[in-house]
Amino acid sequence: MTDLVKLFLDSLTVEKGLSRNTVLSYGADLEKYIFFLKKKKISSFLSVGRRDVMDFLLQEKDRNLEPASLARGLVAIRMFHRFLVDEGKVSENATDSLESPKLWKKLPECLTLPEVERLLKSPNARIAQGMRDQAVLELMYATGLRASEVTTLKVSSLDFQGGVLRVMGKGFKERVVPMGRKSQECVTRYLSKARAEWLKSKTEPVSWLFITQQRKPMSRQTVWAILKKHAKNSGIRKKVYPHILRHSFATHLLENGADLRVVQELLGHADIVTTQIYTHMDKSRLKGIHQKFHPRP
């Protein structure tokens, strides 16, 4: 097996004209690959299948290698198996249709439903600031808006009669998102009491939906501070950040049977591949449930 690797590396230098450092890197990746195959008692590339290649990559992933390093390793293995086919050493390429590890992104953290419930109940809705904080959190979880989208919402963005809001997302693309009954109630209370109180002495109209007590538009940093404050108050130990409510919104929708294309539209993703990461999260959850409860996991 090592002789074939040497022939392949020589061809990279002579025929492909790759640099010495690139060839050395590919050689190191293939050396680990061969060692792995030998540990599996595989002594011929004729016996290597797609599953063996995947097992090797997953082993490397478990070693906490960066996706870029994994991707480079897969490039080396792909080129090597293509070389074996071209040389007539094997009839099929075991790396056909393998997903690039560049797509193996770290799954985003999300809150459980009980954690979301505690978070949304944390603000003191009897005071003005608490009304605003509750409206912000409820709306973010109900709509999956980004923090930047929340801070640029205007009162005119809301359509209470239709129960939706219009939001300008990335690339200046507008989308319409349902608000949900509870978030509408919280936003209505905030508008009629807290916001109205803060703007009582201001003569010029203010178009921004969420403002500070100083009657200025709320910043993304303020959104982050609101989330961190109430996550701490509600006993959530996870590292929280504004996007965690967006991740939770998408994950909980899919867990309850929502269509992936609908979630894509609600999130404002241009490419459904971006939305598919949430299906990976759901699969992980299902796998954990299966292992925990199945009599023969």
Domain membership of residue 248 (yes or no) is yes
Domain membership of residue 146 (yes or no) is yes
Give yes or no: residues 131 and 273 share one domain: yes
Domain membership of residue 297 (yes or no) is no
Give yes or no: residues 154 and 196 share one domain: yes
Please give the pLDDT value at position 283: 56
Mean predicted lDDT score pLDDT of the chain: 84
Domain membership of residue 147 (yes or no) is yes
Domain membership of residue 123 (yes or no) is yes
Q: At what angle do helices 243-255 and 260-267 cross, to 10 degrees?
A: 160
Domain membership of residue 108 (yes or no) is no
Q: Regarding predicted confidence, which is higher, 29 or 120?
A: 120
Select which of 61, 89, 269, 280 is catalytic.
269
Give yes or no: residues 132 and 83 share one domain: no
Q: Is 141 a known active-site residue?
A: no
Q: Regarding predicted confidence, which is higher, 101 or 261?
A: 261
Q: How many domains does the chain have?
A: 2
Question: Across residues 205-233, what is the average pLDDT?
Answer: 93
Give yes or no: residues 252 and 288 share one domain: yes
Q: What is the residue range of 271's domain? A: 113-292
Q: Is 190 a known active-site residue?
A: no
pLDDT tens-digit readout, 30-80: 898 888 888 888 877 777 887 888 888 778 777 777 766 777 788 888 888
Select which of 72, 81, 246, 252 is catalytic.
246
Give the confidence band of 171 by pLDDT, cuts at 50, 70, 90. Answer: confident
> Which of 42-46, 120-124, 281-285 is predicted most confidently?
120-124
Point out the least confidently predicted range of 59-68, 172-181, 247-256.
Answer: 59-68
Give yes or no: residues 155 and 229 share one domain: yes
Q: Is 237 a known active-site residue?
A: no
CA 17: distance to chain centroid? 38
Please determine, for residue 229, whether its predicted confidence score (pLDDT) is greater than 80: yes
CA distance 128 to 241: 23
CA distance 75 to 177: 41
Give yes or no: residues 31 and 152 share one domain: no
Q: Is 146 a known active-site residue?
A: yes
Give the confidence band of 293 by pLDDT, cuts at 50, 70, 90. Answer: low
Please give the pLDDT value at position 78: 85
**Which tokens in the block code for residue 285?**
């959850």
Question: Across residues 148-168, what is the average pLDDT?
Answer: 93
Please determine, for residue 272, whether its predicted confidence score (pLDDT) is greater than 80: no
Give yes or no: residues 147 and 88 share one domain: no
Point out the least confidently predicted range of 57-71, 139-153, 282-296.
Answer: 282-296
Select which of 72, 81, 146, 252 is catalytic.
146
Domain edge (last residue) among 78, 103, 128? 103
Give yes or no: residues 71 and 138 share one domain: no
Question: Across residues 226-243, what is the average pLDDT?
Answer: 91
Domain edge (last residue) among 73, 103, 133? 103
Q: Could you tell me what percentage of the chain is helix, strand and coil, using 3-state DSSP and rounding each to the nearest 5?
A: 60, 5, 35
Give yes or no: residues 134 and 241 share one domain: yes
Give the Cβ contact number of residue 156 at 10 Å.
10
Percent of the chain past pLDDT 90, that is, above it, reads 39
Question: What CATH number has the domain bearing residue 188?
Answer: 1.10.443.10
Q: Is 247 a known active-site residue?
A: no
Question: What CATH number has the domain bearing residue 9?
Answer: 1.10.150.130
Select which of 16, 38, 63, 170 is catalytic.
170
Q: Is 170 a known active-site residue?
A: yes
Domain edge (last residue) among 103, 136, 169? 103
List strands edge to edge, sheet with 164-168. 158-159, 164-168, 174-178
